[in-house]
Structure 1
Amino acid sequence: MKLIQKQSVFHNEVLTRFELYKSLFLTLPFQSVKHTGTILPFFSTHCEKGVEEHLAPQEIIDTFFDQYEQYVQEEDRIDFLFRIVQYIERQVVLFDAVEDSAFHSVGKNEDTGVLQALFIRAKDNPSLKKKIVNKLHDFSVRLVLTAHPTQFYPGPVLAIITDLIEALKLNDVPNIQLLLQQLGKTPFINKQKPTPVDEAASLAWFLENVFYRVASEIQAKIDSEMEVPVEEVKQLIELGFWPGGDRDGNPNVTAESTKTVANMLRTILFRCYYRDFKNVKRRITFRGAEKYLDILQDLFYDNSFHPKENPEDETSIILDNLRALKEVLDTQHDGLFAELVEDLTRKVLTFGCYFTTLDIRQDSSILKDTFNYLVKNNNDTQLDLEMISNSEDEKEKTMPFTELDLTHNEQAEPLVADTLDVIRLLKDIQHAGSERAAQRFIISNCQNASDILGLMQLFLWSGWKKDTLTIDFVPLFETVDDLSRAAEVMRSLYMNSEYTKHLKMRGNKQTIMLGFSDSTKDGGYLMANWSIYRAKIELTTISREFDVDLVFFDGRGGPPARGGGKTQKFYASMGKEIANEHIQLTIQGQTISSQYGSLETAQYNIEQLLQAGIVSEIQQKDGDTLTNKQKHIIDQMAQVSHTKFMALRKHPLFLKYLETLSPLKQLSNVNISSRPVKRNSGKELRLEDLRAISFVTSWSQLKQNIPGFYGVGTSLQWAEENNLWSYVQNLYETSGMFKTIIDNCMMSMTKSNFDITAYMEKDETFGEYWTMLRDEFELTKKFVLKLSKSEVLMEYYPVERASILAREKIILPLLTIQHYAIRTILDKDLTEEREAIYTKLVARTIYGVVNAGRNLA
């Protein structure tokens, strides 16, 4: 009954209101809008019918145009298709806004509970309250904002969406109409690729308008509920930032852009402080406060509007004056307006002079090149050339850890020079905002202990000293093979005396990043999830053996295929074998705008993560810690799934199918990111060079979502055939981790639609290949429905299912147009000019499809 009620609320609050407000488009004073909007329903119905009948996209489009005399000429047809794309793009925005405006009514549908419910129970349960307080003493949630392009709204459109959501909440029709008019005239595409600084500026909007307020409000609520004085506050919510610091595979990120972003973040933060301070100053007009107010006025104003070239960390000065100001209020003015000072104090304690920790990331191969460069060019200064050719074991044993001040010359490769420049720059960033401003260097593609030790040595060769090396070295393990060897790598590190000394200086805390994106591309959905879970168990065991406080940093994307989906459910079900004292994860693209884009949604989702982390330790379920038998079964299933996925990867048509039928090639021409679509961009496409985002996006445009389900059905069938079904059923019912894997798989499948490409079944080249993909989809669907005891996919998540299906219906014409344009390019001998037009048409459809999918990429 409850599920039916939720579905009814969604229908009334979202679907019905969307249909009502959609009609406003027809009243807008734009050329051809009314004509396009009038024909669109007929075009959509025609596409739906054609897809149901498994017609080829050319046949669907051509038979539609045959009904209208005004579309005889190709130019007129192309013009109409472009206008359809633009119209649907704006419908997607409207649907986003309507759905987000109804969040209070339909959004809070997770069954994991919210933080407030936990605190209510704790009020009447002193024992539970004590457990929560103890947990909060050493617990934090860090959200790391990345520039990975999983949604394609430019900044101005995001701002319109924000205003539109507020207008929709009030049913302010005149304002809604004006905003839709603005939306109609606002471009949805960038003329040029954004720079890393552009990307940072875009994401800084969320820092300034959402996280700045929400982080302190949640902190205040928890302090109040748990009766923690403001001076004893332990920072629970931390923010991280990758734009401007993440240079892995992105040659456009340089030390100069890193410096610019760090300074920009500092300036934006002080403007936030200054806005709050003006309110404080307006209210506190009492004697005794003038001195402290004047000091704070100068500090906040100068740093906001006249920032220095090389600023200093002034956090302690700000806090000293705020505390002195509060003491004046408490002792001389009955604490009047003290809460305003407490609020600003809490924000300064949270954000300091840096706002968000700027992470630096680079691939291990570049770091090796940099190490080798310094050895080769400075072998007259105590450096031994043999360090380059040593075996892995010798490198670990003979790493000198000498403190030298080496520089690069003009002949150094750009990426080598950048690495050495940014290592030196980190000192300046820390000087301006404390070590919290930039304290982590992440090593992508980390395969050996020497990758971390070599980077530590680079710091010591760049002017840093061992006893003041305020940097955390974070290995990133991504591929299935790297994940399987991660514990071995960390054991070698923990046994290295120099690294152990450094670790102790850093509070004996080690952060390890685990990446979902490349592990899914590398081993398939089930193997990726299991490899990461198994690695967490092994890494936790090793770290506990060496008494190291382990922090897992999860590189999770938006969709299940990249580690997303129902993220908080993973953290709530880690069990006793996995370190879960801290939750750290990347959030990107539409994960940011859809889940953290407003004060209400951000507060809810952050509280969900906090609650998941607390509950996973103090209220663990028996099923969350897997038995050896359960591990063995999942391991066998993962191997079966992996074998199935690897057979697909090794198929000679694998990349050809993706390159030919999906808009993979066009992704490189879409101005959405400063990062190239693939590594080694000038060379022939190889799967290992293809970025996970491009890989997953291409499959999602085909509406086949292979990375989110392929191999799962085969593994479940294997379990049934080997009399293990009862065990698998028990896993689904008792293990939160396993249930979430399957539920997220169903989400990926709900966003799939093989009918769109069903015409491929008879294709001479790809027919058998397409059939193989479709058959695994149907097999997986059969077994996940059986496992979840459902009639339809996502039956027990009716609101999310209804949202997905509504979005899929909106963009079906876009997909039809996209495949029509791709097939036209393939099948017809086009002139260069005409091919460019159809290529542009393909590229334009990508935006709406990804935006509507909310975390498809």
Structure 2
Amino acid sequence: MSNTLAEFKNLVGTKFEMYNSLFTSLPFHKVEKTGILLSLFLLHCEEGFRNNQSPAEIIDSFFRQYTNYVSSKEQIDLLFRFIQYSERQVVLFDALEDAAFSATHDMDGSGTLKQLQTEVVQANSQLQLAEKLKDFSVRLVLTAHPNQFYPSAVLGIIHDLGKALQKDDTVLVNTYLQQLGKTPFFKKEKPTPYDEAVNLIWFLENVFYHSAGHILSFLKSEFQDAVTEENQLIRMGFWPGGDRDGNPFVKADTTLKVAEALRQSIIKCYYMEVRLLKGRLTFQGVDTLLASLEDRLYKNLFIPGYNAYLSKDEISATLIEIRDILIAKHNSLFLNKVNNLLDKVNLFGLFFASLDVRQDSSVHKELVELVSEKTSVLPKNYKNLSEESKIQLLQNIDSLVVDTDLDKDTFDTILSIRTIQRFNGPEGCHRYIISHTTSALNVMEVYGLCLMAGWKKEELKVDFVPLFETIGDLRNAAKVMTILYQNEAYREHLKRRKNAQTIMLGFSDGTKDGGYLMANWSIYKAKEELTRISKEYGIEVVFFDGRGGPPARGGGKTHQFYASMGKNIANKEIQLTIQGQTISSNFGTRASARFNMEQLMHSGISNALFSLRSSTMSSPEEELLQELAEESYQAFNILKNNPDFLEYLNFASPLRYYAEANIGSRPSKRKAGKLNLNDLRAVPYVGAWSQLKQNIPGYYGVGIAFEKLEAEGKWGDIKNLYNHSLYFRTLMGNCEMAMSKCFFPLTSYLSKHPKYGVLWNLFYEEFERTKKYIFQLTGKSELMADRETDQLSIRMRQRIELPLITIQQYALTMIREKGVKASNSPEVKVFEKLVMRCSFGIINAERNSA
């Protein structure tokens, strides 16, 4: 047993059992019975599934054997108490993992900046490092994709509970557990986009502000000559309030309000730190400067309209003056504290995190066509012109007076970017992401709308970021960018934007479209081709990866993907979205945030400095992966085109209840109407498979592809690819993670269903097939056998959530049995509430999906 695993068992496993006993004193109704009965229920579930019982059979037999509850009301009441109890167990487990993070992870080991320091010195690569750090950065973009159910109050309790657990303060732990007992875990109303922004700003203030500052200070102390003020090595991005793709509740005033909240939040962080500095820097000549800075920050925070009198440069200049006085007159006393604050000011400015605007390309297309109908700015026959002609018109268009008939909010949003830049600085909001980009025209439509809104070409400080996501769009991406690079107006715009082009490559819709292997491989190939053509046109391409929490949405061990990129893929920056439970699981504490940011930085830097050309796959290896992806794609296409595919998911999972769960501000579908795969958002799609414990998007088609190529005598080649390619191993490792979260006994009762039994058996066969081949590849007899700590964490979480998934499936069965006619009856409404309440705990328990 490794030291890490031993520490995990001691600090998380043993302590969970110990503190879990404190739940018997929680202020719940009949709580003394709930804890005992839940323990019995867990054992009963495990035995029942071993005996191939259905969830309904397990729950019915439990009530008969262990309770004297006869009425439906008494039984439902106990199930709700089980849910309430289990939710708090998940919180306790989260807090214990957070508290133990530094002990269960080697904070100076593999993939850390401490290791990078050793590698650089040993290889005498200081000059190469300095060259790499001139323009390298890691950009973490926080999104409001709703796959975590903790309200902000509960997040705060987890944070405080973790600190108490670190100190083994049993009295305080007990107090916080009682607080949890009184704190609601569900939201009566949907959060607004502003609510979502406030929730994520909590992480910026309490975690990223401190962790990023720590990393910058370390880099400057260890690589003083390599780190310059000109390049910020860590950048934060932000989507809540700017992401309006499919979210009708995000308006221009929302974007402005969130930008102001970000500005106020970072000023508050500076203000608090300056107040702490005042207690140390009590020296003549320094104290008055610090008092003056504190006063200006205070007025910005508490006096309305004062923001015009503060700038990032003003704060920096004051701190530099203080630094110079400390060096000249006060023996550099507490200089490190001033430098640390100065680093943060340079990093976060007055914007904290750069607010991205995102909208679907169809919205811009409809608006431009409306402009041609309603105004004289574009010809009336615009809609019937060729793409080339449309682009020519849009790049030379005049501004117009906008009225409400022309979707005034879109123009107001474009103008709000300029307002935010004026108050928060140019980095405050400068990227416009265009979802579902299928052509160069989609990008030039936004360019034209900016000109219509009154921007002058020479003053247009906006980066247009096309988002390619479906398999077809990824394959077409290079063609789209070639047309843009050849366009004279767009090239001139890129020159004014430092000759750099950011391209976003999304994963979630790719998985829905092409399955796990093809989605990953299509992104890899698109990056290769986009790197090649960008170099050809002298453009510095930067890839922005839209990756979610679970592997099925592009998550998993993300830093390994960056470490595995070949030399033929641009890696000037690492940019990725941090979504849902990934924020709290990977960046929820200062220790975990620092560790995971360092892992990303190390992967990007070491890949450039030390990786051999072997990280770039050979042509035969690429051809083999292409074959595997094609076979997998064919298998997934057959599945997704099955008319019962989505109906099965809707029938067996809580998919239809996502929209009612009040988890996020935006609808679960892009458009109203009949359920279809294109309009269904990735979060409810992947989340429903996850709650069903089948995780189809994370592996389906992989086993079929392996079987096909093995039959062609290519298994030896596949084995060699696995042994030699970090990229392929990372793909398979994340596939293993998705499969390790599966639990088919939960739904085995569907195997004999007259309509859906065929699909259930198809999924189960593919799961077993993929598992068999993964075992042949790894030489192991267990999934994730080489990641013992993660494996144990998943198993412990699965035990906590087993009662929840059993209750949820039972409730879904009851709803189906009552039938459509009873859908509005009070009895059915109670079962629907059971389904949704179980969802909260199940998804929170899946926290370690990344």
Q: Are 1:846 and 2:847 an aligned pair?
A: no
Counterpart for residue 183 of structure 1: 180
Counterpart for residue 343 of structure 1: 340
Q: Are 1:149 and 2:143 an aligned pair?
A: no
CA distance in 2, matches of 1:803, 1:225: 35
Counterpart for residue 751 of structure 1: 741
Give the C-alpha shift of residue 288 in structure 1.
3.0
- Identify which of 334, 344, 366 aligns with 1:369: 366
> Structure 1 233/341 Cα, relative in aligned 2: closer, same or farther at 3 Å?
farther
1:235 counterpart SS class = coil
Give the C-alpha shift of residue 621 in structure 1.
3.3
Counterpart for residue 722 of structure 1: 712
CA distance in 1, matches of 2:67, 2:175: 34
Number of equivalent positions: 847
Give the C-alpha shift of residue 856 in structure 1.
5.4
Does structure 2 conserve the Cα–Cα contact (< 8 Å) formed by 1:850 and 1:856?
no
CA distance in 2, matches of 1:119, 1:109: 13
Q: Are 1:391 and 2:386 an aligned pair?
A: yes
Counterpart for residue 53 of structure 2: 55
Does structure 1 conserve the Cα–Cα contact (< 8 Å) formed by 2:86 and 2:841?
yes
Counterpart for residue 698 of structure 2: 708
Does structure 2 conserve the Cα–Cα contact (< 8 Å) formed by 1:310 and 1:428?
no
1:668 counterpart SS class = helix
Counterpart for residue 791 of structure 1: 781
**Further displaced range: 465-474 or 129-138:** 129-138
Does structure 2 conserve the Cα–Cα contact (< 8 Å) formed by 1:241 and 1:358?
yes
Q: Are 1:11 and 2:9 an aligned pair?
A: yes
1:650-682 CA deviation, whole Å, 9 max, x = no partner? 11210110111100111111011001111113x
1:771 counterpart SS class = helix
RMSD, matched Cα = 1.7
- Identify which of 671, 676, 700 aligns with 1:680: 671
Does structure 2 conserve the Cα–Cα contact (< 8 Å) formed by 1:374 and 1:408?
no
Letter in 2 for 1:645: F
Unmatched 5+ stretches in structure 1: none
Counterpart for residue 85 of structure 1: 83
Q: Are 1:775 and 2:765 an aligned pair?
A: yes
1:584 counterpart SS class = strand
CA distance in 2, matches of 1:838, 1:64: 18
Give the C-alpha shift of residue 96 in structure 1.
1.1
1:98-124 CA deviation, whole Å, 9 max, x = no partner? 122111222349985322012023335
Does structure 2 conserve the Cα–Cα contact (< 8 Å) formed by 1:402 and 1:461?
no
Give the C-alpha shift of residue 548 in structure 1.
0.7
1:425-479 CA deviation, whole Å, 9 max, x = no partner? 1111000011100000000000000111111111011110111111000000000
**Further displaced range: 128-137 or 498-507:** 128-137
Counterpart for residue 139 of structure 1: 136
1:198-244 CA deviation, whole Å, 9 max, x = no partner? 00000000111111111121011101101249874631000000000
**Further displaced range: 186-195 or 365-374:** 365-374
Does structure 2 conserve the Cα–Cα contact (< 8 Å) formed by 1:313 and 1:433?
no
Counterpart for residue 475 of structure 2: 484
Letter in 1 for 2:373: K
CA distance in 2, matches of 1:579, 1:614: 12
- Identify which of 150, 171, 174 aligns with 2:171: 174
Q: Are 1:516 and 2:514 an aligned pair?
A: no
Q: Are 1:603 and 2:594 an aligned pair?
A: yes
Counterpart for residue 666 of structure 1: 657
Give the C-alpha shift of residue 302 in structure 1.
1.3
- Identify which of 618, 623, 635 aligns with 1:632: 623
Letter in 1 for 2:522: S
CA distance in 2, matches of 1:389, 1:128: 58
Give the C-alpha shift of residue 310 in structure 1.
6.8
CA distance in 2, matches of 1:802, 1:563: 22
Counterpart for residue 66 of structure 1: 64
Give the C-alpha shift of residue 67 in structure 1.
1.8
Counterpart for residue 542 of structure 1: 533
Q: Are 1:693 and 2:683 an aligned pair?
A: yes
Does structure 1 conserve the Cα–Cα contact (< 8 Å) formed by 2:27 and 2:182?
no
1:399 counterpart SS class = helix
1:597-618 CA deviation, whole Å, 9 max, x = no partner? 1111111000000000011111
CA distance in 2, matches of 1:653, 1:294: 69
Unmatched 5+ stretches in structure 2: none
1:713-749 CA deviation, whole Å, 9 max, x = no partner? 0111122111111221111111111110001000000
Does structure 2 conserve the Cα–Cα contact (< 8 Å) formed by 1:112 and 1:569?
no
1:313-339 CA deviation, whole Å, 9 max, x = no partner? 611122222222222222233333333
Give the C-alpha shift of residue 13 in structure 1.
2.2
Counterpart for residue 325 of structure 2: 328
2:404 counterpart SS class = coil
Query: What's the TM-score once normalised by structure 2's chain length?
Result: 0.97
CA distance in 2, matches of 1:527, 1:312: 53
CA distance in 1, matches of 2:332, 2:783: 57
1:674-702 CA deviation, whole Å, 9 max, x = no partner? 01111113x11111110011100010111
> Structure 1 283/107 Cα, relative in aligned 2: closer, same or farther at 3 Å?
closer
- Identify which of 835, 841, 849 aligns with 2:828: 835
1:97 counterpart SS class = helix
CA distance in 1, matches of 2:25, 2:404: 61
1:489-517 CA deviation, whole Å, 9 max, x = no partner? 00000000000000011000000000011
Q: Are 1:613 and 2:604 an aligned pair?
A: yes
Counterpart for residue 548 of structure 2: 557
Give the C-alpha shift of residue 411 in structure 1.
2.7
CA distance in 1, matches of 2:786, 2:336: 44
Letter in 2 for 1:268: S
CA distance in 2, matches of 1:796, 1:856: 16
**Further displaced range: 847-856 or 110-119:** 110-119
2:564 counterpart SS class = coil
1:362 counterpart SS class = strand
Does structure 2 conserve the Cα–Cα contact (< 8 Å) formed by 1:150 and 1:855?
no
> Structure 1 95/479 Cα, relative in aligned 2: closer, same or farther at 3 Å?
same
> Structure 1 312/138 Cα, relative in aligned 2: closer, same or farther at 3 Å?
same
Give the C-alpha shift of residue 307 in structure 1.
4.1
Counterpart for residue 202 of structure 2: 205
Q: Are 1:240 and 2:237 an aligned pair?
A: yes
Letter in 2 for 1:240: G
Counterpart for residue 807 of structure 2: 817
* Superposition pairs of residues 109-128 of structure 1, within 5 angstroms: 112-125=110-123, 127-128=124-125
* Superposition pairs of residues 382-461 of structure 1, within 5 angstroms: 383-396=378-391, 398-402=392-396, 404-412=398-406, 416-461=407-452
Give the C-alpha shift of residue 129 in structure 1.
2.0
Give the C-alpha shift of residue 403 in structure 1.
5.4
- Identify which of 800, 811, 832 aligns with 2:790: 800
Letter in 1 for 2:119: R
Does structure 2 conserve the Cα–Cα contact (< 8 Å) formed by 1:144 and 1:242?
yes
**Further displaced range: 300-309 or 93-102:** 300-309
**Further displaced range: 847-856 or 400-409:** 400-409
CA distance in 1, matches of 2:279, 2:171: 35
Q: Are 1:304 and 2:320 an aligned pair?
A: no
Q: Are 1:267 and 2:264 an aligned pair?
A: yes
Counterpart for residue 286 of structure 1: 283
Q: Are 1:584 and 2:575 an aligned pair?
A: yes
Letter in 2 for 1:753: F
2:364 counterpart SS class = helix
2:502 counterpart SS class = strand
Give the C-alpha shift of residue 290 in structure 1.
5.6
Q: Are 1:525 and 2:525 an aligned pair?
A: no
% identity of equivalent residues: 46
Letter in 2 for 1:815: I
**Further displaced range: 320-329 or 656-665:** 320-329
**Further displaced range: 173-182 or 307-316:** 307-316
